[in-house]
Amino acid sequence: PFTLHNESGRQEVILRRSYNSEDIAVTCLFRVSPYDEPEEEEESEEDEPDTPVSQEEIHMVVTIAKGGDGPSLEISCTCSQGEIEIEKISYLDDESSKDDELAYTGPVFGELDENLQKQFTKYLEARGINEELCNFLVNYMPEKERQEYIRWLEKIEKFVKKEAK
């Protein structure tokens, strides 16, 4: 099972576990910066669906290391409606290669052979990155965001009410 690391005042939650000789960390952010999201096209009233679609999507980075500061895989994913979609898989030689913006990070995942894509999905599932984890995150992360929002409001209120010295 995963161990949950949730630090107050942070937008990220990290789930950790070991699998055989691997150290696995799943890092999730409860909100993607609005500057990173593509602009939505305006829809006419005719294009809008009759029923609203509520879809929570959690962005996560799965890091799988085989001990120490050695090589690791960094797998960028999204999960929604119980499904995990792999976006990108990067091979990192060591910790310092995370900061190398010019390093080759691999092809677009969706362009890989379909069988290879399925094998990577099975690889993640064997390590607990599955529908159950996805459903947990889709339920947990909005609550985390709510807690952080309340904490933020309390800090702002305290600041505004504080007398200047």
Could you tell me if 28 and 141 are in contact, meaning their C-beta atoms sit under 8 angstroms apart? yes
Written as tens digits, the pLDDT of the chain (165 aa) is 899 999 998 989 999 999 999 999 999 987 544 444 444 444 444 444 443 334 578 999 999 999 777 899 999 999 988 899 999 999 988 765 566 777 777 888 999 999 999 999 999 999 999 999 999 999 999 999 999 999 999 999 999 998 766
Domains and CATH numbers, the chain: 3-34+57-161 (3.10.280.10)
C-alpha span between 64 and 77 (Å, rounded): 13
List the strands of the sheet with 72-80, edge to edge.
3-6, 12-19, 22-29, 58-65, 72-80, 83-92
Rg (CA), the chain: 19
C-alpha span between 94 and 158 (Å, rounded): 44
Tokens of 109: 């995942």
- Closest C-alpha among 12, 16, 30 to residue 127: 16
pTM value > 0.85: no
